[in-house]
Structure 1
Amino acid sequence: MTQPRPLVAWGIVAALFVAYIVSFVDRMIIGLLVDGIKADLKISDTEVSLLQGLAFAAFFTIAAIPLGRLVDRVHRPRAVAAGIAVWSAMTIACGLVSSFAGLFIARMGVGVGEAVLSPAAYSIISDSFDRRKLGLAMGVFGLGSAVGAGLALMIGGAVVSMVAGAETLTLPLFGTVRPWQAAFIIAGLPGLVVALVFLFIPDPRHSSGQRPAAAAISEVSGHLKRHAGFFWSVFLGVAAVNLAVLGTVSWLPAMLRRGFELPLAQAGYLSGSVLIAGGLIGMIGYGAAMDRIGGGTPAARMRFCGWATGIATTAGLAFPLVDSLWLMAIGFVAFFSAAAGVVSAAPAVLQQLSPGNMRATVAAVYVFVINLVGIGFGPSVTAGLGDWLFPGGDGIRYAMAIVAPAGYAVGAVMFFIAARHAARAEAGHGASTITI
């Protein structure tokens, strides 16, 4: 398949990066709105965690594999456009409901729309770059998650600051809403514009005049089974890291408010800043480094991930427990940058080691596993431990200090196992031509 010109390829990555920002703004803004939602809907931390995690993950994970199959068959940017439109509309719907059940259903809808983006993006990017630039390209796309999560908290903080003291406010077309409802509505609107842009973006697969038939599901299943040791080591390693990250990021603003007594807006700005800083270091810095270390081979990328997460386990243990706000921020950046590096490396490796006609489907299986574990259980595990072992006050920080290092330790072990499997395949096929 002929790759697009570099300018076109990076333009596509830029558009996907913006879409990923919008995705994470809509996904993560709920983290700053916890206290307002709890007060209005009269629910607990554990119930809020279900809105953050299980509600989103339920349809996100169920829809990921069939949508990945669809993406392998259709014009991928147009599929992304449809996904953005759906999740944006459902984010707006989150601001129009007034019950726990209504918000749960709307959050499920956000997950359905977002299930399209990652499989399509990984497939498109892998068709647009050779392997020596693939890590950086995946890192730029992945940076959208950190920037989006950071902006979600900042936008939420800004909205709260603007309406401080107000019980309700009136928005054009939407009427009178509570401040947390306004934040959802404001976050959802930009995505409708971004969706229109993707209707005009070319698909590298279609532009080259080659449109390979999607692999049969039995073929994909056979590929995954033949190399189960490698694929499941990557899937479970990233899932464990995802659980650690989502179990901390979802509760970071609440921890800052309860443990450091920061105003809500300031907690949002600080949370957003450290997320963006960690994302820049991990996804761009680590992504570029992994393209150079070991020639960007799958084994080298996985070893890098193992060392990064293993070392960052200490930061995951320390940052929730320190009393200094500056030390907390530095520790969190060190912790999150390792996860960000993993997010740029793992999709690149999976795309390198999968045939072109099943890349989106393999990516969908990856998305299914990591989000079922990370989004589905991360926020709830942390909240559950906090409610059970450390109820009241700033107990959430102690729960974070358990979940964060435990997830990273498991992830590091799995990445070293994946590196061993990849190294064996490279020895048999040659690092430049490997297809396991």
Structure 2
Amino acid sequence: MIFVLTLAYTASFIDRQVLNLLVGPIKAEFGLDDTRLSLLQGLAFTSAYVVMSPVFGRIADVGSRKGVLMFGIALWSIGTSACGLAHSYWQLFLARFGVGGAEACLTPAAWSIIADAFPPRLIPRAFSVYMMGPYLGGGLALIFGGLLLQGAEGWDLSAIPLLGAMKPWQLVFFCAGLPGVLIALLLVFVKEPARRASTASAEVQTMSSAEIWATFRRWRGFYGNFYLGMPLFIIPLYAFPAWMPTVLIRKFGVSAAQVGVQYGIAVLITGSLSVLVSPWVARAVERMGRRDNLLLVALGASVAMVPLSLALMAATDYWTAFAIATAASVLYSLPQALSSSALQLVTPNRMRGIASSIYVFVVSVAGLALAPTFVALITDHVFGDEGRVGDSLAITCAVAAAASTVFIARALPTYRRMLDEAA
């Protein structure tokens, strides 16, 4: 089950992030500036994602979570391939819109399944495996996207219907969507676990909207600050992969294929290992007497991200910038599985889907919609120089991490009380 869900999460990030390596060809194809290009990275995807997240979240709470996943995965995979058929900016925008809406199914359904399939002590470990998906997907999107982009320039596909008329960047999109259809079929062999209560005293029954709202209000010290702090920390997670390839290409004159392979491998290895070892880090913190260890690790990572982001402004050579981006991948990856586990562990079973979908909503607004566009706006309208995109990236991530630190720190006291009640 974890294997198939991780494959699905990996495919989702391949499909959403492969565009990051195609910035140059798409800008040239449609005559775009960084800001309009960033809307394809962010707004086109996120506007549908945030609208559909509560819908899929509620369906995951009351219906078949496996059915939701099979439908959504197949749909977003078809949408990604459709990006390769686009012949105008708005056609590509609409295809990205479709991908975003379909991908909204994944988090609420998958998180709920994982939380029901494992005992509480193993949930962080299960999430750490599942949360490898973004880094596997982001890395593979860059690696194979770069290799495919380079290889397609020398291919003669003129005799093949449909593919023969595609440009290299279109072919990358078309191929990226194909694996998802197979993953949707693999879910046929996954058994959906029975729902269970999140605490010993809770009943596994449908919660009314009034009960859900009352729970959010009662624990608003946690939910409110968590829903602000973690999305702010997500901004570096999306901003670095979105713009770091462009920083390396523009500032140091390397090829897209080289950046794709080198940065892709770095993201894949460091991100995956970081999220995989995060439960051990959290357990080490717990042995120090901190039951709030899951959120405490997130707080430490957000603090460290501030100076690391600013260091990017001082990078004067390719490998220094590359090393900073690699270290950032370790930091922003570390708390992702832990924060997801924290949310699931203290949230009643029958509102996990809606709680997860709200998290997806705020994360999507901050990370998917705002992160790429903030960087582009600073580049286009503050510096007025596309060569300074690295400075824009550094400022965006440092400010977001600093603000995240404040809100995560404010969430900790209420989170500790929730843990005490659930014990």
Give the residue type in structure 1 aligned to 2:279: G
**Secondary structure of the equivalent of 2:132?**
helix
Instruction: Quote how far apart the aligned CAs of 1:287 are.
Output: 2.9
Q: Deviations over 1:15-47 (max 9, x none)?
A: 111111100000000000111111111111111
Q: Which runs of 5+ in 1 are unaligned?
A: 1-11
Aligned ranges 1:389-404 → 2 under 5 Å: 389-404=382-397
Structure 1 counterpart of 2:276: 284
Structure 2 counterpart of 1:16: 5
Structure 2 counterpart of 1:312: 305
Matches of 1:109 and 1:281, distance apart in 2: 31
Matches of 1:133 and 1:293, distance apart in 2: 17
* CA spacing shift, 1:347–1:207, aligned 2, 3 Å: closer
1:380 and 2:373 equivalent? yes
TM-score relative to the length of structure 1:
0.90
| Paired residues of 2:83 and 2:96 also in contact (CA < 8 A) | yes
Matches of 1:28 and 1:145, distance apart in 2: 9
Aligned ranges 1:40-119 → 2 under 5 Å: 40-119=29-108
Instruction: Quote how far apart the aligned CAs of 1:423 are.
Output: 2.1
* CA spacing shift, 1:169–1:113, aligned 2, 3 Å: farther
Instruction: Quote how far apart the aligned CAs of 1:315 are.
Output: 1.4
Matches of 1:171 and 1:410, distance apart in 2: 52
Tell which deviates more after alignment, 102-111 or 220-229. 220-229
1:413 and 2:406 equivalent? yes
Matches of 1:292 and 1:122, distance apart in 2: 24
Matches of 2:158 and 2:380, distance apart in 1: 33
Matches of 1:171 and 1:184, distance apart in 2: 17
Structure 1 counterpart of 2:236: 244
| Alignment partner of 2:249 out of 231, 247, 257 | 257
| Paired residues of 1:142 and 1:283 also in contact (CA < 8 A) | yes
Matches of 1:137 and 1:412, distance apart in 2: 26
Give the residue type in structure 2 aligned to 1:314: P
Matches of 1:263 and 1:171, distance apart in 2: 28
Q: Deviations over 1:172-201 (max 9, x none)?
A: 554411111100000001111111111221
| Paired residues of 1:170 and 1:177 also in contact (CA < 8 A) | no
| Paired residues of 2:237 and 2:333 also in contact (CA < 8 A) | no
Q: Which runs of 5+ in 2 are unaligned?
A: 198-202
Structure 1 counterpart of 2:23: 34
Aligned ranges 1:264-303 → 2 under 5 Å: 264-294=256-286, 299-303=292-296
User: How high is the sequence identity, in percent, across the aligned residues?
Assistant: 30
Tell which deviates more after alignment, 314-323 or 256-265. 314-323
**Secondary structure of the equivalent of 1:251?**
helix
Instruction: Quote how far apart the aligned CAs of 1:282 are.
Output: 2.3
Aligned ranges 1:198-237 → 2 under 5 Å: 198-205=187-194, 212-237=204-229
| Paired residues of 2:50 and 2:361 also in contact (CA < 8 A) | yes
Matches of 1:116 and 1:405, distance apart in 2: 31
Matches of 1:81 and 1:18, distance apart in 2: 13
Give the residue type in structure 2 aligned to 1:408: A
* CA spacing shift, 1:195–1:420, aligned 2, 3 Å: same
Matches of 1:265 and 1:121, distance apart in 2: 33
Structure 1 counterpart of 2:415: 422
Instruction: Quote how far apart the aligned CAs of 1:167 are.
Output: 10
**Secondary structure of the equivalent of 1:199?**
helix
Matches of 1:426 and 1:207, distance apart in 2: 18
Aligned CA RMSD, in angstroms, stands at 2.2
Instruction: Quote how far apart the aligned CAs of 1:291 are.
Output: 3.9
Matches of 1:272 and 1:424, distance apart in 2: 41
TM-score relative to the length of structure 2:
0.93
How many residue pairs match? The answer is 417
